[in-house]
Amino acid sequence: MNQPHKAQAKEEALQTAMDAVEQRLKSAGMAGPAPGFAQRWQQRLELHRAQEARRQARIMLSVNLSLSVVLLMLIGSQALPMFDSITSVFLGVVEWLSGVVIFFELLASVWGSLSRTLSGVVPTSWWITIGATFFGLVLWWGASLRRYTKQQERA
């Protein structure tokens, strides 16, 4: 007889506790983020994006470098028998690279000199017109080239 009374008392105590918890949950307001949360989150997001971009750049650089080395080895294995010695190959490569560096230094020097000289002589509106005309000519050339190659493919 005592057991049903204890069970009923436990159920009533549990119901009272549940009602108190429900009342407390209903009276509690919505919790908001800590002050400065959005700003800290944005900073972490930007940092994460920058780290991800650097990681992807390193991966692409390593893939490109390794493929370049493999390609260079393949080309070298095919071209090496044509030369008398490895010294002539090395000197040829150094000569070619020196020529490329000198060409780009000369090009930069001439371009710098022209831009400093012509910037004061030619008005800005002319530069805009020249740039727009150049861009239009490049687009026209590209469209003509595409049309010509499409005609060649159909023929």
Decide if 80 contacts 89 (C-beta within 8 A): yes
Total domain count for the chain? 3
Q: Could you tell me the residue range of the domain that residue 73 belongs to?
A: 55-84
Query: Within a domain: residue 93?
Result: yes
Identify the H or E element spanning 108.
Answer: helix 86-121
* pLDDT one-digit tens code per residue, 77-115: 777 777 777 787 788 888 989 999 999 999 999 988 888
Evaluate whether residue 149 is within a structural domain. yes
Sign of torsion over alpha carbons 115, 121, 124, 129: negative
Summarize pLDDT for 7-62 with one digit per residue, the tens: 888 888 889 999 998 988 888 777 778 888 889 999 999 999 999 999 999 999 99
Going by the DSSP 8-state scheme, the letter that residue 84 receives in this structure is: S
Same domain? 97 vs 110: yes
User: Does residue 19 lie within any of the structural domains?
Assistant: no
Q: Is 109 a member of any domain?
A: yes
Q: Is 122 helix (H, G, I), strand (E, B) or coil?
A: coil
